[in-house]
Amino acid sequence: MSNLLSVENLTMKFGGLTAIDDLSFDAKNNQITSIIGPNGAGKTTVFNCLTGFYKPTNGQMFLHKEDSKISLRKYTDFKIAYVAKVARTFQNIRLFPAMSVLENLLVAQHNELMVASGYSLFGLLNLKTYRDKEQLAVDKAKYWLDIIGLTHRADDNAGDLPYGDQRKLEIVRAMCIEPRLLCLDEPAAGLNPKESAELNKLLKFIKTEKQTGILLIEHDMSVVMGISDHVVVLNYGKKIFEGTADQTKNSKEVIEAYLGVDE
């Protein structure tokens, strides 16, 4: 399995605080790589560096593309999603609450639609080329809504959906930009066991059918252990363990980090 993402010696300092300390790990294509660790371990900071919200103090992040590799450091904010095709979701859901579910998914296809609408010119003239492209975008949205079973609510406001559905919608919205790497920040937070199981199914589907690499931050161990191909454990910004789910479960370091050490 080829490498999709390699993080090399990533360091992020906020003033005197070192949130990430010399972190290196790889994520492979068509795999789910989980990043776990106690609160404050620096997991979300890793995501913010990867997706261009922070500029790391040190280190490199590469996204591998066939034979070439592109450095994520070069891109800032919206270009990470637009050029490098790295999509993310947020720990506290960030949908567009007053817009409909369908509109949420169309905003995710903004850049293609913008070109199709001739930067609004063809759209204002109501040309057929644009209308066809828009229909394609709606079809794509419908495809994803069918998968998460929300097609019947496509015209409702996203903010009116139940919490679990909002989580799923945020994930498929990120999928609408056709990412090569999908970063999910605690997608199972606040979900009940049934919803967690559905989430597992969705993530497995994305991994196998869409050939997208997934990077996952999660506290819910049933999700992490159920679907991860690879687990990276952080504590105080340092990588303390890396391995498969089973190896992680039995690792002494990990148990110590979570439960503390006997005196």
Q: With the CA atoms of 55, 60, 63 and 65 taken in that order, what torsion angle do they form, in degrees rounded to the nearest 10? A: 130
Least Å from the CB of residue 237 to another protein:
23
Rounded Cα distance, 5 and 181, in Å: 8
Least Å from the CB of residue 35 to another protein:
18
DSSP 187: T
Q: Are 171 and 187 in contact (CB under 8 A)?
A: yes
Going by C-alpha positions, the residue among 149, 148, 163 that lies closest to residue 206 is 148
Least Å from the CB of residue 110 to another protein:
5
Matching residue, tokens 């637009």 = 82
Least Å from the CB of residue 8 to another protein:
24
**Based on CB atoms, which residue is closest to another protein, 200 or 212?**
212
**Based on CB atoms, which residue is closest to another protein, 133 or 239?**
133
Rounded Cα distance, 260 and 82, in Å: 42
**Based on CB atoms, which residue is closest to another protein, 100 or 251?**
100
Q: Which residues bind another protein (CB under 8 A)?
A: 51-53, 77-82, 87-90, 94-100, 102-103, 106-108, 110-111, 113-114, 116-117, 119-120, 123-124, 134, 138, 141-142, 151-152, 154-155, 173-174, 176-177
Least Å from the CB of residue 257 to another protein:
29
**Based on CB atoms, which residue is closest to another protein, 152 or 252?**
152
Rounded Cα distance, 248 and 242, in Å: 7
Rounded to 5 degrees, φ, ψ at 100 are: -70, 165
**Based on CB atoms, which residue is closest to another protein, 8 or 156?**
156
